[in-house]
Structure 1
Amino acid sequence: MIFSNLWLIIFATISSLSRGIISVIDRYQMGYRKQSSIDVNFINNLCSSILVTIFLFYIREHYSSPRFTNNYLLKVVIYAFLAQIVAYGYSFVYRKVSIMQSVILSKLTDLFIPLAIFLTMGYFSKASYLVSIISTLIVVIYIIFEQRSSKLDFHVLGQTFSVIAPLLILQAAISPLLTKGLIKPIDLVFFTIMTIYLRCFISLITFWFKNKTFKISTENLSKKVYILYTIRAILTLLAQTTYTLATSSINSSIAWVFLNMTSLYSVFFGDLFLKEKMKLADILVIISILALAIISKEFL
């Protein structure tokens, strides 16, 4: 399926904007309202599953589903498990640090992800890895600068990094193996739908183990929170579908320029809705990383 560059840019922009807002919603739910990550993830996944079922009825009328072999199902299960574990990891991060700090912690893994992918896929680019080293150095310099001016809590940063970094590295290393061979965009869409259902099932199990019941407590759920869950479910489906479309074309390199702006949108919306104020250093770091991402995708 081939789209024009304009459509690729539109899809990528919608995806990155959606994921940026999702980050802010998660930070609000778990960082400010101090809700249980188990409960929040279950409700999020339940809402996404309900919404994706409506979407599934539509696409089943226009496209045939792929052949569900045992190998295919095993790949989806592993993929969904990894995605949900990373979601729990980010839930922990959002309870501890600001959105900007979560972006920085995620970017620190750029030094290790190319090596992990090399171990699983056998692909390694020296030039691209040089970009990863430079971006990591930028982040380290930023942390040192921030520690002097804002007295960052290195204990909290180290604790959150030790949780999210291994999960991101593992996901990045294994995910290409699991989606290998899924060439058609519609196959990726069905793969995504099954992933959402399985993530809901996984979060249902963890919800039961925590609460010993399947009943959702509505004690702390106001109308505003219900609206947030609904918005997040819509954004989740929108972000994943447009991401699939944006990266499905042979011209997808242009899409990555706009997909990599997610972190910038996250910090911007965090400043707008949560009043987590952006500083000049924050903006410069993100722009620098974005510029490096563009260089790595376009010229290396």
Structure 2
Amino acid sequence: MSSTANSIPPPPGVYVPAVIFFDEDEELDLPSIKAHVLRLAKGGVTGILVQGSNGEAQHLSHDERSLTIRSARETLNENGFENVLVIAGTGGQSTKETKKLCADAKAAGASHALVLTPGVWPPQMTKERILKFHRDVADASPIPTMVYNFPVVTAGLNLDSDIIGELGLHPNIVGVKLSCADVGKLHRLTSTLPASKFATFPGSSAVFLQGLVSGSAGVIGALPNVAPKAHTELYKLWKAGKLEEAAKLQGLLGQADWELQKLGSIAGIKAVVSKHFGYGNTNVRAPLTPRDLEAAGAAASAKLEELIALEKSL
């Protein structure tokens, strides 16, 4: 059973669903994975989400999932980043498997679990079954859980603010990642559930500042894989009350995030990181395919290049 006495949300800040790297045989490339975790930590992120959708969680065995969580935690501890959180994506297609993944995540060093709603049988996932699934997982999880709302990877299931609000009353459910990028939904949640109990994060850098204005806890987004320092800079500007400067930087983040999506998301992130930061490669596990940046053309990533230049200057 869960221990709800310490069920507090992750602290506000910048979180990154880290990509992982594979060798030519699609086996884990641990040196590159560790290099990436270290660069993100040095970039000032508050926490690293291992096995978010960018981490190819569904492409990994349970053993590989545990290994990558443990590797991230050990890399952070060994380099003086004990305070950087490791959150684990623990979505499974059954309640039983999801409970097991939460227990594995705790054993491997994760502080929180981020839980996708099962999407294999969407017609059967009524409101009551969605509520029961997340509550049953939270009841059993040895670490606090968060709801992961990402319709693209859950067969179109899009949890509304009523469902998420009800789940937020559970003592061991402490937050949500909204990869639906719905700022109205985000604001309804932040104005309903206290931030001390429930952290509401947008799942996209495209609405990072908009989320902060609406009371979010920061961001959990793909783009910090490329530019963690730029995101922590925007967060500092916001906290210092420099809204105009923050809005200008948000404009660049929004443009760069859109270009990154057009490059092919996971494979695009790996291609950009390996090209500009000196580690990793473009290998993904099939059926995903690697991305060739040269074929995309310079015009396709002009704002992304501008963001990378800024990142290297910070």
- Output the TM-score relative to the length of structure 1: 0.29
Query: Normalising by the residue count of structure 2, what TM-score does the alignment of the two structures yield?
Result: 0.28
Structure in which a larger fraction of residues adopt strand: 2
More relative contact order, 1 or 2 (CA 8 Å, 6+ apart): 1
Point out the structure with the larger helix share.
Answer: 1
